[in-house]
Amino acid sequence: STASLYRAPGERPTISFELYPPRTPKGEVSLQRTVLDLAQIGPDYFSVTYGASGATRQTSRDLICSILRDTPVTPIAHLTCVGASEADLTEYVSELLDEGVRDFLALRGDPPAGQEDWQPHPEGLTRASQLVALLRTVVAARLGPADPVSISVAAYPGGDYGPDGQAVVDPSDVAALLEKQDAGADFAITQVFFDPAHYAELVSAARAGGVRIPIIPGLIPLTDPKRLRRLEELTGVRVPEQLLDSLDSAESPDEAYQRGLTASVDLIDGVLAAGAPGLHLYTFNSSKAALDLLDRAGLAPTVALGGTAPQ
């Protein structure tokens, strides 16, 4: 249920991992290992992306079903409005509900590669808030009003600074978050960011704007400079020069990795100090950096880390 996906102030933060559906048979095999390794530490949920980077509905659904079948961990199914009519979305949501999925992350989605502007499907939705509303309607029709379904949504700390060097967030992102809350969202998970001040500022601007739902920071292990540069291109969130310099100037890949872990622990400490109710780690389907990071931060949920998973 929703209550187990984030924690009240004072309790330990939830720990969760984002996975994407495999694109190759090799990726599928290594993902099975990753899921089992991550499940070992008892995370609060796995979220499974949808449509991003060419993933299909079927591969997302297969990954969700394998999590339900092979682990005790709750899967959150990402959904987007891209390329789907309302009828398509209703059908897909109904299928997932039949599989036992009770947790959804409702997104608008990005335009397909090569397309600049967001173009809705002619019989589709144009905003995540509408998808939240559609989900609430489908769930009520199929399960009745009492059945617990959680709906999470995206939030954006960004990476911008004002003239005095203070973190600033885009007011339209706060307006969008409020609209999603009003449509029935239970909590939010953020896009990547690199300065805890951006998370703190988003939470504070959101609260000032009437947003009451918990906002869980989404974090990537800052261990791979190539990945950070690619993410900067994809998301437009600036990676601090100082971080890239520190990783680039390391004497060895291992030293860069260790420096990245240290920077990530600082970021985690910062968001926890700002009251983060959970930590959502973008894993890129690899368990090592995520588990090393939690180990370093002293945040392994239930099981001691550092050992290898039983064969």
Using CB under 6 A as the binding rule, whether residue 184 contacts ligand FAD is answered as no
Active site residue 18: yes
Residue number with CB closer to ligand FAD (149 or 247): 149
Give min distance, CB of 205 to ligand FAD, in A: 13
Residues 98-117 that bind ligand FAD (CB under 6 A): 107-110
Using CB under 6 A as the binding rule, whether residue 96 contacts ligand FAD is answered as no
Using CB under 6 A as the binding rule, whether residue 150 contacts ligand FAD is answered as no
Instruction: With beta carbons less than 8 A apart as the criterion, state whether 93 and 138 touch.
Output: yes
Query: Site for ligand FAD (CB under 6 A): which residue of 40, 191, 246, 264?
Result: 191
Query: Site for ligand FAD (CB under 6 A): which residue of 21, 217, 218, 277?
Result: 218
Q: Which stretch binds ligand FAD (CB under 6 A): 45-53, 84-92, 252-260, 266-274?
A: 45-53
Using CB under 6 A as the binding rule, whether residue 252 contacts ligand FAD is answered as no
Using CB under 6 A as the binding rule, whether residue 175 contacts ligand FAD is answered as yes
Query: Site for ligand FAD (CB under 6 A): which residue of 97, 154, 239, 293?
Result: 154
Using CB under 6 A as the binding rule, whether residue 127 contacts ligand FAD is answered as yes
CB atoms within 10 A of CB 143: 13
Burial class (CB in 10 A: 0-12, 13-18, 19+), 198: buried
CB atoms within 10 A of CB 85: 15
Q: 48 forms bridges with which residues in the sheet? A: 19, 77
Per the structure block, which two tokens stand in for 15? 């720990």
The helix (H) or strand (E) run that includes residue 132 is: helix 128-143
| Active-site residue (options: 11, 18, 28, 179) | 18
**Residue 63 CA to its chain's centroid (Å):** 16
**Region of residue 8 (phi > 0: left; psi between -120 and 50: alpha; otherwise: beta):** beta
Using CB under 6 A as the binding rule, whether residue 75 contacts ligand FAD is answered as no
Using CB under 6 A as the binding rule, whether residue 179 contacts ligand FAD is answered as yes
Burial class (CB in 10 A: 0-12, 13-18, 19+), 166: exposed
- E strand intervals along the chain: 14-19, 45-48, 74-80, 103-107, 150-155, 160-161, 167-168, 187-190, 215-216, 218-219, 278-282
Using CB under 6 A as the binding rule, whether residue 189 contacts ligand FAD is answered as yes
Using CB under 6 A as the binding rule, whether residue 234 contacts ligand FAD is answered as no
Site size for ligand FAD, by CB under 6 A? 23
CA distances from 20 to 42, 124, 212, 284, 288 (A): 19, 24, 29, 7, 16
Using CB under 6 A as the binding rule, whether residue 256 contacts ligand FAD is answered as no
Q: Which stretch binds ligand FAD (CB under 6 A): 8-16, 50-58, 66-74, 226-234?
A: 50-58
Query: Site for ligand FAD (CB under 6 A): which residue of 19, 76, 176, 185?
Result: 176
CA-nearest of 90, 179, 98, 102 to 138 is 90
Could you list the active site residues?
A: 18
Binding site for ligand FAD (CB under 6 A): 49-52, 78, 80, 107-110, 127-128, 154, 172-173, 175-176, 179-180, 189-191, 218
